[in-house]
Amino acid sequence: MKEAESRSILIPGRSLFITSLLYLFLGCAAFFFDYFFLIWLLSGIALVPFILCDLFILLLLGDRLQAERKVPSSLAQGEHAQVKLLIRRTKQPLLPFAIKLFDLYPDTMSTAVFPASLDRKMLKTQDAFVFNYNLMPEERGPWFFSGMEFLFGSILRFWRLRVTHNIISRGRTYPNFKQMARGAQLKGKFEKGEIRQIRKRGQGLEFESLRDYQEGDSIRSIDWLATSRNYRLDGKLKPIVRNYQEEQDQQILFIIDSGYRLPDVQFDSALEAMLLLSYVALKHGDAVAAASFGSRNCWIPPRKGTSAFTGLMNSLYDLHSEPVPSSPFAALENALGRLHRRSFIILVSNFREEDGESLAWILPRIKQRHLLLMVSFRENGAEELAFPVTSSEKRTDEEVLETAAAYSYLANRRRLYRKWEHSGLLVLETSPAHISSALINKYLSVKKSGML
């Protein structure tokens, strides 16, 4: 971005502060001792020309640098980003005695580079000096650089001149998806946070082609009509089987809770998992929609194709959870009014015993028209209280009551989840570290089984 304007502020330097402090002590001594008065007076008269001359030279050699910043407009959270500062000297040959650089980067980023001292000799010998440094984006959302500052020091260090250049840079920090391109190809065990291979079962798949029968094929997959027309040279029938592929052109809706139920760590993991699964679903030819409730209510209509993923990212990259009330019931009711075809609804929140009653009458309506997956996080704190490490020390009554309350809380949650499962809903309880692989595994199993 090019510079629009600059402003300067004159600041007393360290030398002026120390000199003023010493002069004050000398004045105190002159107040009590007469022979110090003449020294105090003469030193003051001698210092004033030096201080004023130092100031005049600094102002004369003031803002003689121009700067330009180059930074990518799209950054990934947790990935270092390189920033280039292009610094040019104006036509004037002389430069201030000391030059320090400050780049006014956003609060959502961090670096340990500034203040940076610039080499005057290098600035004199080169037409343009490139200063590179790395920034770490720590939070998702929009950002902007408010400017760039130069701090010029005078020859005697009595004064400093702070010059701020209004060089504005704007951009966005997105979730980090370096692994996304190969996310759908991971293989392994679910508990290790990876993605399993799901065996194909049933016939809830789309017909792809006919092929010759091979050993191990199911007899149910034989196309008897095609087989009746396929004779071998010896006059015997050659079995033909139907080849199926995953059913496409289905619809997935993600609903994420941005209220008090999901704290920051759980919410960030859920959002990243939701976007990752959106990428996988779009690659499989499905249409993807998304919604949030709680701190911000939004609705992103279903779209197909990999280009739809860009729209999802731009709509959800700055979404954060806040300690505000959230209603899963209202979110599902809103989804019922907007969805016009059968969809696989994935609702991510932290469900508790009281949700059983509040969602009791809307869940059967959802089940009639859609396939619903309720995703919740494990309560690690409650599990540690409910199942404490055995110890020989005697426990207090308060600790026993805490353990009983935590155990009762977890038991009621599991009872609620079993009730939902028995009614035909899908329930997934996982941890923030495993939610991405767990969601993709569940999605692939639904696709293969033909439940949708």
pLDDT, position 343: 93
Contacts of 120 (CB under 8 A, 6+ apart): 95, 97, 99
381 — pLDDT class (breaks 50, 70, 90): low
pTM for this structure?
0.74
Query: What CATH homologous superfamily does 248-449 map to?
Result: von Willebrand factor, type A domain (3.40.50.410)
Nearest-angstrom CA–CA distance, 168 and 173: 16
Q: Write down the domain spans for the chain.
A: 1-174, 206-245, 248-449
Q: Find, among 344, 337, 371, the residue nearest to 274 by Cα.
A: 344
pLDDT, position 219: 65
244 — pLDDT class (breaks 50, 70, 90): low
Q: Find, among 266, 180, 254, 185, the residue nearest to 444 by Cα.
A: 185
Instruction: Specify the pairing of strand 128-137 against strand 81-89.
Output: antiparallel
Task: Give 221's Cβ-side CA count (13 Å radius).
Answer: 25
pLDDT, position 29: 86
Whether the predicted pLDDT of 3 surpasses 70? no
pLDDT, position 428: 93
pLDDT in tens, 46-60: 999 999 999 998 888
The CATH fold assigned to 1-174 is Immunoglobulin-like (2.60.40)
pLDDT, position 245: 52
Mean pLDDT for the stretch of residues 312-317 = 90
Nearest-angstrom CA–CA distance, 83 and 76: 14
Whether the predicted pLDDT of 205 surpasses 60? no
pLDDT, position 209: 59
136 — pLDDT class (breaks 50, 70, 90): very high
Q: What is the 3-state secondary structure (H, E, C) of the chain?
A: CCCCCEEEEEEECHHHHHHHHHHHHHHHHHHHCCHHHHHHHHHHHHHHHHHHHHHHHHHHCCCCEEEEEECCCEEECCCCEEEEEEEEECCCCCCCCEEEEEEECCCCEECCCCCEECCHHHHHHCCEEEEEEEEEECCCEEEEECEEEEEEECCCCCEEEEEEECCCEEEEEECCCCCHHHHHHCCCCHHHCCCCCCCCCCCCCEEEEEEECCCCCCHHHECHHHHHCCECCCCCECCEEEEEECCCCCEEEEEEECCCCCCHHHHHHHHHHHHHHHHHHHHCCCEEEEEEECCCCEEEEEECCCHHHHHHHHHHCCCCCCCCCCCHHHHHHHHHHHCCCCCEEEEECCCCHHHHHHCCCHHHHHHHHCEEEEEEECCHHHHHHHCCCCCCCCCCHHHHHHHHHHHHHHHHHHHHHHHHHHCCCEEEEECCCCHHHHHHHHHHHHHHHCCC
Residue 242 bridge partners (DSSP): 210
By residue count, the chain amounts to 452
Whether the predicted pLDDT of 191 surpasses 70? no
Query: Tokens standing for 304?
Result: 């197909």
Whether the predicted pLDDT of 177 surpasses 90? no
pLDDT in tens, 141-156: 999 998 999 999 888 9
pLDDT, position 59: 87
pLDDT, position 198: 41
pLDDT, position 248: 57
Whether the predicted pLDDT of 81 surpasses 60? yes
**Helix crossing, 307-316 with 264-283: angle to 10°?**
170
How distant, in Å, are the alpha carbons of 135, 259, 328 from that of 325? 35, 6, 10
| Higher per-residue pLDDT: 80 or 380 | 80
